[in-house]
């Protein structure tokens, strides 16, 4: 950090002396974040009131090096990992943004876990499958000996609708001014709110998934490989909302894997092909439907699933979640051959 800052200041002074207008040296940016090695920083996070924590940085004022205290804010997950045994905090990195600076601390933990191939041979293996959706954020099913032992639905508790309304306001504002007004406060606040809700929701859902895993030691967590769904069609707010929903899925997926790994549970991704179209009971193709005023309405967006061969009917997301297990064990004809484990 000292080197980078020193280098920057030297080039800046040279540039100032040269009297040129063009070519003002850029401050160290995202591409060259300084790493703060021991001796240049101290993290004073062990204070009793965690909200009052601060970081001490050695900074160059232009004439001398001084220690300066900067108050810091950090999320509770970071704080929790700091006190949990086994976690190591690596040298923090200083990330300079346009209006703020953040300190990134990579936290790491050494984990011992079984390999997927080894686990797959175990006849008593428990698989925990997750189907990620929009309104039912996650449908978690637990299977052992070919039987579903437990099912858990994690609802978004109205988040999708709530976000849609916010994004409607964002879209309206952008429409009025032709384009997004740079630095406009209220839109920024709306976005920050939407993002924060997504992050909270992702952590909650990931925690729910890992809680299930925790009750089955040695289980394997199975996800579908996430598809890139283009957020096209519909109104602007609808498209923005789809995009946020997709990002939320990705975040849940990532966090659940990380949290699971931290408790020694390995995750695997399976091909998503067919999981929502085929019957989890007999493997035949089925249809999605919903009830509207007591009438069965068949359609792609239907919440329910019906099999035309065995007449099995269930919640469509539950059907998909059970199919994730089938996909992992490659039990049905529609299952793709090649799978990558990770």
Please select the residue that binds Zn ion; options are 310, 330, 336, 342, rule is CB under 5 A.
310
SS3 286: strand
Distance CA 62, CA 60 (A): 6
Total site size for Zn ion, rule CB under 5 A: 8
Q: Which of 129, 88, 76, 165 is nearest to 256 (CA)?
A: 129
Contact yes or no for 103/195 (Cβ under 8 A): no
Q: Minimum CB separation from Zn ion for residue 306, in Å? A: 9
Q: Tell me if 306 contacts Zn ion by CB under 5 A.
A: no
Q: Tell me if 282 contacts Zn ion by CB under 5 A.
A: yes
Distance CA 185, CA 251 (A): 26
Q: Tell me if 316 contacts Zn ion by CB under 5 A.
A: no
Binding piece for Zn ion, criterion CB under 5 A, among 1-9, 212-220, 268-276, 302-310: 302-310
Handedness of CA 28, 34, 39, 42 (dihedral sign): positive
Q: Tell me if 312 contacts Zn ion by CB under 5 A.
A: yes
Distance in angstroms between the alpha carbons of the first and the last residue of the chain: 35
Q: Minimum CB separation from Zn ion for residue 217, in Å? A: 33
Binding piece for Zn ion, criterion CB under 5 A, among 22-30, 52-60, 120-128, 280-288: 280-288
Cα→Cα distances 160→13, 137, 180, Å = 51, 10, 23
**Which residue's CB is nearer to Zn ion, number 189 or number 298?**
298
Binding piece for Zn ion, criterion CB under 5 A, among 25-33, 168-176, 276-284, 318-326: 276-284
Q: How is residue 163 written in tokens?
A: 């976000």
**Which residue's CB is nearer to Zn ion, number 55 or number 322?**
322
Binding piece for Zn ion, criterion CB under 5 A, among 120-128, 151-159, 245-253, 306-314: 306-314
**Which residue's CB is nearer to Zn ion, number 111 or number 310?**
310
Beta strand 147-155 with 107-109: parallel, antiparallel or unpaired?
unpaired
Please select the residue that binds Zn ion; options are 273, 281, 303, 315, rule is CB under 5 A.
281
Contact yes or no for 133/317 (Cβ under 8 A): yes
Please select the residue that binds Zn ion; options are 139, 245, 252, 279, rule is CB under 5 A.
279
Distance CA 169, CA 43 (A): 40
Q: Tell me if 334 contacts Zn ion by CB under 5 A.
A: no
Q: Which spans of this chain sit near Zn ion (rule: CB under 5 A)?
A: 279, 281-282, 284, 307, 309-310, 312
């Amino acid at each position: 950090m000292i080197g980078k800052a020193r280098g920057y200041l030297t080039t800046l002074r040279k540039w100032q002396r040269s009297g040129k207008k063009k070519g003002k040296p850029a401050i160290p940016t995202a591409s060259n974040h300084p790493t703060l090695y021991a001796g240049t920083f101290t993290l004073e996070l062990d204070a009793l009131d965690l909200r009052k924590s601060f970081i001490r940085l050695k900074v160059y004022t232009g004439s001398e090096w001084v220690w300066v205290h900067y108050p810091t804010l950090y999320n509770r997950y970071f704080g929790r990992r700091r006190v949990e045994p086994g976690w190591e905090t690596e040298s923090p990195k200083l990330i300079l943004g346009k209006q703020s600076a953040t300190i990134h601390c990579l936290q790491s933990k050494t984990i011992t876990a079984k390999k997927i191939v080894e686990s797959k041979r175990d006849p008593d293996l428990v698989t925990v499958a997750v189907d990620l959706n929009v309104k039912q954020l996650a449908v978690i099913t637990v299977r052992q000996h070919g039987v579903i032992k437990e099912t858990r639905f994690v609802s978004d508790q109205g988040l999708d609708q709530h976000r849609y309304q916010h994004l409607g306001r964002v879209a309206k504002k952008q429409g009025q001014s032709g384009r997004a007004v740079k630095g406009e406060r209220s839109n920024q606040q709306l976005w920050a709110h939407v993002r924060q809700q997504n992050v909270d929701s992702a952590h909650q859902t990931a925690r729910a998934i890992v809680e299930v895993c925790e009750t089955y030691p040695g289980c394997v967590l199975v996800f579908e490989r996430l598809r890139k769904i283009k957020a096209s069609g519909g109104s602007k707010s609808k498209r923005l909302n789809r995009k946020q929903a997709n990002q939320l899925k990705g975040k849940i997926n990532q966090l659940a894997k990380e949290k699971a790994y931290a408790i020694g549970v390995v995750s695997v991704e399976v091909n998503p092909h067919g999981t929502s179209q085929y019957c989890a009971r007999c493997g035949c193709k089925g249809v999605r439907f919903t009830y509207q005023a007591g009438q069965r309405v068949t359609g792609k967006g239907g919440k329910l699933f019906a099999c035309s061969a065995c007449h099995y009917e269930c919640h469509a997301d539950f059907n998909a979640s059970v199919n994730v297990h089938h996909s992992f064990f490659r039990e049905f004809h529609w299952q793709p051959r090649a799978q990558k484990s990770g």
